[in-house]
Amino acid sequence: MTLTLSRCFFYQVCVCFLLFISIAQADNGDIAFSNGVKAYKEANYSRALHYFTQAEKAGYQSGQLFHNLGVVSIKLDQLNRAWESFTKTLDYPAIAPLGHYNLGLIAANRGDIEIANKHFEQAINISQDPALTELARKRLSAQGKNSAAFVGSKQWKILARVGRGHDDNVNFTPDEVSSGIDDGYTELLFYGSAMFTKNQPVGIGVDAYVYDVNYDDIDSNNYLQNSVLLKFPLQYGRWKIQPGLMSQWSKYGGKDYQKIKGLELKSRYIKNDTTHYLFKYSYEDINSLNSQYDFLEGSRHKLRLGNEHRQHAYRTNIYYELEVNERNDKTGESFSPRRHTLNGLFTYALSHDFSMNGNVKYRLSDYPDVGDFERDDKRLQVSWGGQFRINKYTALKGLHTWTKNDSSDSNRDYDRHRLAFSLQFSY
C-alpha cells in the first residue's frame, strides 16, 4: 500500500523541489525550514518532519511549509498528519490545486471515493497547471468516474457465489441437537448493494442478499434466508456512521421458519490509514412462522466492539461481541443464552491475485437455569482458506472450518468439519 501511495505522490514530490526556494536566515522559523529542506534532500524524512514542525511552531506560515509537511508525512506513512497539512495548503491559492489533488489521493486510499472525487474535481476546476489537471482527470477515470458523470451517479455493487462442499455433521436442527450425519451440499449467495443518494449529510441506500444451502440427501436441513437492509450512512469527521432497518425471512427444511425485523447501528472511527475502530449494535424481533419452533420466538440484542488494522499485505480484524436473548423457551429447557464471543480474522496477500486467510472464534454461552435444566457451552471454531483472483471480477475460494462444542448437556457435544470450494463473481 505504501509503495503504491508513494508512486501516486511522485508528481507532488517533484513539485515540492520546485517550491523549495532560497530563504533568508532571518529567524528560527526560517532556519528550521531550511534545515528541513536539507534533511528532505538527504532522504532523512524523520529529521525533515522535525524541522518543518519546528518551523511551524516558530510561527513560519506558508503554503510551501504545509505542502512539505504533507509530503514528509506521506514518506513516514502518517496519513492523518498528511491530511491535516494538505488541508492547510487550501488557504494558499497558488498551491491549493495541488493540495486538493493530494487530499484526493489520501481519500481514495482510505476508500472514501466520493470525497476523493470531490477533491480531484476541485483540483481540475482551479488548477492552471495542465500536467496537474491531467493527473486529476486520470485519477477520476481510474475510479470509473469523470467530472461530469460523477455528479448524481449511484454507487452500487453486485456479488454472486456458487459453491460445493461437504459437511461431516449435518446439524443443526434449530434446537441445536447434533445429527452426526455427513452429506454434501450446494451453496448459493446473491448480494447487492446500492446508494440512491450521496451522504450530504445523510445518504439512503439498500443492501439485500439471498443465501441458500441445499444438501444432497438430507433435505430436512436445507436452509434459505432472504434479507433486506435499508441504510442511512453519514460521515462526521473521522466517524462513519450507518443506522439501518432490517427485515429477514427464512425457510428451514423447505418450510417457513422465521421472520425477523430489527434495527442496527454501525460506526467506524478512522484513527489513521492503518487502524480503524468498529462499533455495532443490533436489535432483532424474532417471529416464528412454524409452530414447531415457537420456543425460539422472542428478541435478540448484539453489541460488538472491534479493531481493524491494515498494513501492506496484512489485514487483521479483532472484535468482542455480547449477545443477549429473550426467547419463549420450552418447558424445562432454555434457548435464551447470554453469549460472549471473541473473534480474530487474519488475511495476508501473497500476491496481487492470491491471498490466504484464517479465523479463530471462541464463544461462551450461558443459558438461564430452568428447573433442573442447566446448560453452559464453550465453542471453538477455526477456519482457514484462500482466494485466487482469476480476473478483476472472478475469484476461486476455498475454506475449511472446524468446530468443537463442549456443553454441559452431552447431547450438544459435537465436532464438525465443513469443506467448501466456490466460484465468486463481483462487480
Alpha-carbon distance of 171 to 412, in angstroms, equals: 10
Is there a single domain that holds both residue 209 and residue 269?
Answer: yes
**Residue-level pLDDT at 151:** 35
What does each C-alpha distance from 357 to 247, 349, 398, 399 come to in angstroms? 30, 9, 10, 9
Is there a single domain that holds both residue 307 and residue 411?
Answer: yes
Tell me the pLDDT band of 139, cut-offs 50, 70 and 90: confident
| pLDDT(58) > 80 | yes
Percent of the chain having pLDDT more than 90? 49
The C-alpha cell 481540475 sits at 124
**Residue-level pLDDT at 317:** 96
| pLDDT(68) > 90 | yes
| pLDDT(13) > 70 | no
Which cell numbers hold the place of 362? 471462541
Average pLDDT, the chain: 86
Which string of b and e fits 156-184 if b means at least 16 CB within 10 Å? eeeeebebebebebbbbebebebbeeebe
**Tally of structural domains, the chain:** 2
Over residues 118-139, the mean pLDDT reads 85
Catalogue the E-assigned strands of 119-220.
155-167, 183-195, 205-215
- Does residue 101 contact residue 90 with C-beta atoms inside 8 Å? no
**Residue-level pLDDT at 262:** 97
Q: What is the pLDDT of residues 69-127, one digit of tens each?
A: 999 998 888 888 899 999 999 988 889 899 999 998 988 887 778 788 888 888 888 88
Q: Domain end: 150, 172, 191, which one?
A: 150
Is there a single domain that holds both residue 222 and residue 259?
Answer: yes
The highest-confidence range among 36-45, 53-62, 330-339, 355-364, by mean pLDDT, is 355-364
Is there a single domain that holds both residue 143 and residue 235?
Answer: no
Is there a single domain that holds both residue 141 and residue 230?
Answer: no
Q: Domain end: 117, 150, 183, which one?
A: 150
Q: Which residue has the higher pLDDT, 382 or 132?
A: 382
Is there a single domain that holds both residue 253 and residue 343?
Answer: yes
Nearest by Cα to 136 from 149, 146, 151, 144? 146
| pLDDT(7) > 90 | no
**Residue-level pLDDT at 199:** 57
Q: Which CATH number do you get for residue 224? A: 2.40.160.40
Is there a single domain that holds both residue 258 and residue 281?
Answer: yes
Is there a single domain that holds both residue 96 and residue 207?
Answer: no
Is there a single domain that holds both residue 216 and residue 135?
Answer: no
| pLDDT(266) > 70 | yes
* Full residue range of the structural domain in which residue 345 is found: 155-426
Over residues 192-208, the mean pLDDT reads 84
Is there a single domain that holds both residue 93 and residue 160?
Answer: no
| pLDDT(148) > 50 | no
Q: Which CATH number do you get for residue 118? A: 1.25.40.10
Lowest mean pLDDT among 155-169, 189-203, 325-339, 356-370: 189-203
**Residue-level pLDDT at 337:** 94
Q: Domain end: 129, 150, 171, which one?
A: 150
Is there a single domain that holds both residue 107 and residue 11?
Answer: yes
| pLDDT(28) > 90 | no
State pTM to two decimals: 0.67
Q: What is the pLDDT of residues 218-242, one digit of tens each?
A: 888 899 999 999 999 987 777 889 9
The residue length of the chain stands at 427
Is there a single domain that holds both residue 180 and residue 209?
Answer: yes
